[in-house]
Amino acid sequence: MLEHIKSFASGFFVTGDPMIYGADVSILLTILAVLFTLTYFKKWRWLWKEWLTSVDHKKIGIMYILSAFLMLFRGGVDALLMRAQLAMPNSNLLQPDHYNEIFTTHGVIMILFMAMPFMFGLFNVIVPLQIGARDVAFPFLNSLSFWLFFAGAMLFNLSFVIGGSPDAGWLAYPPYSELMYNPGVGQDFYIWGIQISGIGSLMTGINFIATILKMRAPGIKLMKMPLFPWSVLSSCIAIIFSFPILTATLALLFLDRYAGAHFFTLDGGGNPMMYINLIWMWGHPEVYIIVLPAFGIFSEIVSTFSRKKLFGYHSMVYAMMIISILSFLVWAHHFFTMGSGADVNSFFALTTMLIAIPTGVKVFNWLFTMFRGRITVRTPMLWTIGFIPCFIVGGLTGVLLSVAPADFQFHNSYFLIAHFHQVIIGGVVFGYFAGLYYWWPKMFGFTLNEHIGKWAFWFWNIGFYVCFMPQYVLGLMGMTRRVVSYSWDKGWWPLNLVSTIGAGLMGIAFLFQAWQIFHGIKHYRKNRDTTGDPWNGRTLEWSIPSPAPHYNFAVVPQVSELDDWWEEKQRREHNPYVPPAKEIIEPIHMPKNSGIPILMAGFWFMAGFGFVFHWLWLTVPGLAGVAICMLAHSFNDDSDYYIPIEEIKETEAAIRKVTTS
């Protein structure tokens, strides 16, 4: 019996590597510490009622961003491990198998479990506030989206300690991701982790399209809407058309592995190239999905901190919509070397180059917004200014890569690695950081220390160039991606060492950010944002207190123009004696909290875990639980309530008391 358990456990848990045992211990200690703290301070009830079951978009947004930071930490550790391995030739720090797992999890985590939730967090916190809404269109679905993302992310991360991590690269190309070459469970963790969180992403896409199209306050015509919601709309349109392709493709891969199908296998008539086409039909739009909202954030920030209306508002809107559509027509540029022929490659090279046009329009618009503006360089603006040159270089190397014949040289080299890190760190990550710093006071009601923030920025920015500029050269010198080590005679050592130093600088930058947040929490009282408008903003979210009350707007705003809050402030300044419009407070219709989303995500987790280990006894109850949760929700009529007028008045008075004291 004991032998039986022993043999099961040695296959079930990941064993052998001291680094993994160390990680096991630290994970266990962290879990115990969290459980102990919650129990000791009697916070379980609070956690359940105020957060886990909340359908409030602001709280869901904060939970998304918190998860994104945890995942940034893990993905960052993966990155540092890789750079440490490559710092010296013939390094033995990581075994090849382990290295394969690390670059796979680094990619998946950074794109799907860091960038996506970070982005959804900002959507959630800001979009309803900017369009004068009290919540998203489907608050229950929103909570479910978050919990599905969380269940998927946890399932994926579980592979670190149970069963073994996936190791077939972040997009799991067959035939290597097929059962024949990859018989472990890692690839199944990959499939189900992404599948479950992908359903959540898809529903968020639906939710925000409906929110933006249907929930705008009176007067916000589409062309009077701030640019961030526009960017969210363009991103969500790409989500609803591309994520189903991902779901379908991973389902096919799963059928290959689970049911012996022959979609992408080498035998039985399967075609691995089919997978590569399908996955990039999602994968390319995906990078625009994550970068478009960053464009929206920069547009908001650049206009606020230049004290000017955004230059070329209309062209910005059209540019984002065109990018959203064009993003579906470029997928084959990821595999010019596949052998599709000159005609196909020319088409995709041209469409890829075309995308540079709307993107260039946006860069010029940002620059012209700053031109003759009264610029104040606070941290959000600093990230924006850092972003522009970085993104231009990243974009230009992208144009180089789009030249199909030249791509035969660049393909899968470190040149490519440097390019996509430059657009994703320089564009997406810088953008989300800018947004986080910009909206932090609105989310939490206090401002962060600018001084530490500037240190964090400079470490990130300098670290970025030190890390990735050498990689362009390494790529041209012939270093290909995913190599675990190289010999002395290649001559790659000095540049690799510099690159590793740059990665270390970015690691330090992350520590500065963590310090900045702890510092902010510690000096919370001193740095309270009592104005609700710390940056002298232009859009509606700055017209309400920080943090926003749970119903957001006591009275739904009437909007008459773009940058309405700015214009309102100008009117008040010029004409202080005009009494504000009489505001009639009415009972507010709000959704009720629900425990079903977290429960349902738990059942999905069960089902996914069962699929990974081929345990039908776990999968079947899991899926049945999902169905029961859906029916329970369908039969529940008690899903909303009204906040009475007195309560609104009390809340508003309490906020005013704090802000004037």
Partner 1 sequence: MKSSSLKNVQKHHSDRHHSHPDMEEMRTFGFWIYLMTDIMIFGTFFATYIVLHNNTNGGPGPADLFELSGVIVSTFILLTSSYTCGLAVLALNKGKKQALIGWLAVTALLGAVFIGLEINEFAHMVHEGATMSRSAFLSAFYTLVGTHGLHVTVGLVWMIALMVQLSVKGITPVTKRKVNIISLFWHFLDVVWIFVFTVVYLMGVK
Examine residue 559 and tell whether it contacts partner 1 (CB under 8 A): no
- Distances in Å between the alpha carbon of 29 and those of 20, 22, 36, 160, 279? 14, 11, 10, 16, 38
- Distances in Å between the alpha carbon of 390 and those of 331, 394, 423, 464, 499? 24, 6, 8, 9, 17
What distance in Å separates the CA atoms of residue 447 and residue 223, rounded to the nearest whole number? 31
| x/- letters, 223..242, toward partner 1 (CB under 8 A) | -----------------xxx
> Minimal distance in Å, beta carbon 113 to partner 1?
21
Compare residues 34 and 616 and give the one whose CB is closer to partner 1. 616
Compare residues 248 and 377 and give the one whose CB is closer to partner 1. 248
Question: Is 261 in a helix, a strand, or coil?
Answer: coil
Backbone angles phi, psi at 590, to 5 degrees: -130, 150
Examine residue 644 and tell whether it contacts partner 1 (CB under 8 A): yes
Q: Which of 17, 561, 586, 650 touches partner 1 by CB under 8 A?
A: 586
> Minimal distance in Å, beta carbon 385 to partner 1?
37
Compare residues 260 and 405 and give the one whose CB is closer to partner 1. 260
Question: Is 14 in a helix, a strand, or coil?
Answer: coil
Using alpha carbons only, give the angle 170, 172, 176 rounded to the nearest 5 degrees: 135
> Minimal distance in Å, beta carbon 390 to partner 1?
33
Q: Which stretch binds partner 1 (CB under 8 A): 88-96, 372-380, 437-445, 641-649?
A: 641-649
Compare residues 523 and 633 and give the one whose CB is closer to partner 1. 633
User: Looking at this protein, which amino acid is placed at residue 251?
Assistant: A
Map 188-239 to HEC letters. HHHHHHHHHHHHHHHHHHHHHHHHHHHCCCCCCCHHHCCHHHHHHHHHHHHH
Q: Are strands 588-591 and 640-643 parallel, antiparallel or unpaired?
A: antiparallel
What distance in Å separates the CA atoms of residue 490 and residue 86, rounded to the nearest whole number? 13
Backbone angles phi, psi at 422, to 5 degrees: -70, -40
**Among residue numbers 256 through 285, which ones bind partner 1 (CB under 8 A)?**
256, 259-263, 267-271, 274, 278
Q: Which of 252, 317, 382, 626 touches partner 1 by CB under 8 A?
A: 252
Residue at token pair 């760190």: 425
Examine residue 245 and tell whether it contacts partner 1 (CB under 8 A): yes
Q: How many residues of this chain bind partner 1 (CB under 8 A)?
A: 53
CB atoms within 10 A of CB 161: 18
> Minimal distance in Å, beta carbon 141 to partner 1?
8
Compare residues 256 and 407 and give the one whose CB is closer to partner 1. 256
Compare residues 284 and 362 and give the one whose CB is closer to partner 1. 284
Examine residue 341 and tell whether it contacts partner 1 (CB under 8 A): no
Q: Which of 370, 428, 448, 643 touches partner 1 by CB under 8 A?
A: 643
Q: Which stretch binds partner 1 (CB under 8 A): 41-49, 79-87, 568-576, 632-640?
A: 632-640
Q: Which stretch binds partner 1 (CB under 8 A): 175-183, 211-219, 331-339, 468-476?
A: 211-219
Examine residue 249 and tell whether it contacts partner 1 (CB under 8 A): yes
Q: Which of 580, 635, 657, 660 touches partner 1 by CB under 8 A?
A: 635
Question: Is 325 in a helix, a strand, or coil?
Answer: helix
Q: Which of 248, 483, 521, 616 touches partner 1 by CB under 8 A?
A: 248
Examine residue 219 and tell whether it contacts partner 1 (CB under 8 A): no
Compare residues 476 and 585 and give the one whose CB is closer to partner 1. 585
> Minimal distance in Å, beta carbon 205 to partner 1?
8
> Minimal distance in Å, beta carbon 413 to partner 1?
30
Q: How close are the terminal C-alpha atoms of the chain, in Å?
A: 69
Q: Which stretch binds partner 1 (CB under 8 A): 4-12, 165-173, 202-210, 351-359?
A: 202-210
- Distances in Å between the alpha carbon of 466 and those of 52, 73, 515? 41, 20, 23
What distance in Å separates the CA atoms of residue 548 and residue 445, rounded to the nearest whole number? 8
User: Looking at this protein, which amino acid is placed at residue 477?
Assistant: M
251, 135, 157, 144: which is closest to 201 by C-alpha?
144
**Among residue numbers 518 through 557, which ones bind partner 1 (CB under 8 A)?**
556
Q: Which stretch binds partner 1 (CB under 8 A): 96-104, 203-211, 283-291, 319-327?
A: 203-211
Examine residue 255 and tell whether it contacts partner 1 (CB under 8 A): yes
User: Looking at this protein, which amino acid is placed at residue 191?
Assistant: I
Examine residue 137 and tell whether it contacts partner 1 (CB under 8 A): yes
Q: Which stretch binds partner 1 (CB under 8 A): 32-40, 133-141, 189-197, 303-311?
A: 133-141
- Distances in Å between the alpha carbon of 138 and those of 124, 196, 325, 601? 12, 19, 26, 17
The residues near 529 (Cβ < 8 Å, ≥ 6 apart) are 441, 442, 445, 446, 447, 546
What is the DSSP secondary-structure string of 507-566? HHHHHHHHHHHHHHHHTTTTTB--SS-TT---SGGGGS-SSPPTTS-SSPPP--STTHHH
Examine residue 11 and tell whether it contacts partner 1 (CB under 8 A): no
> Minimal distance in Å, beta carbon 236 to partner 1?
9
> Minimal distance in Å, beta carbon 218 to partner 1?
7
> Minimal distance in Å, beta carbon 112 to partner 1?
18
Do 446 and 524 meet the contact criterion of CB atoms below 8 Å apart?
Answer: yes
- Burial class, 413, CB count within 10 angstroms (exposed 0-12 / middle 13-18 / buried 19+): buried
Residue at token pair 């400079």: 458
Q: Which of 45, 214, 314, 657 touches partner 1 by CB under 8 A?
A: 214
Compare residues 270 and 502 and give the one whose CB is closer to partner 1. 270
Examine residue 49 and tell whether it contacts partner 1 (CB under 8 A): no
Q: Which of 641, 649, 650, 658 touches partner 1 by CB under 8 A?
A: 641
What distance in Å separates the CA atoms of residue 143 and residue 408, rounded to the nearest whole number? 45
Do 387 and 433 meet the contact criterion of CB atoms below 8 Å apart?
Answer: no
Residue at token pair 């933006």: 212
> Minimal distance in Å, beta carbon 403 to partner 1?
28
Q: Which stretch binds partner 1 (CB under 8 A): 114-122, 131-139, 305-313, 467-475?
A: 131-139
Q: Which stretch binds partner 1 (CB under 8 A): 130-138, 331-339, 344-352, 417-425?
A: 130-138
Structure tokens at 512: 């500065």
Examine residue 615 and tell whether it contacts partner 1 (CB under 8 A): no
What distance in Å separates the CA atoms of residue 318 and residue 573, rounded to the nearest whole number? 34
> Minimal distance in Å, beta carbon 348 to partner 1?
17
Binding residues for partner 1 (CB under 8 A) = 134, 137-138, 141, 202, 205-207, 209-210, 213-215, 218, 240-245, 247-249, 251-252, 255-256, 259-263, 267-271, 274, 278, 556, 586-587, 589, 627, 631, 634-635, 637, 641-644, 647
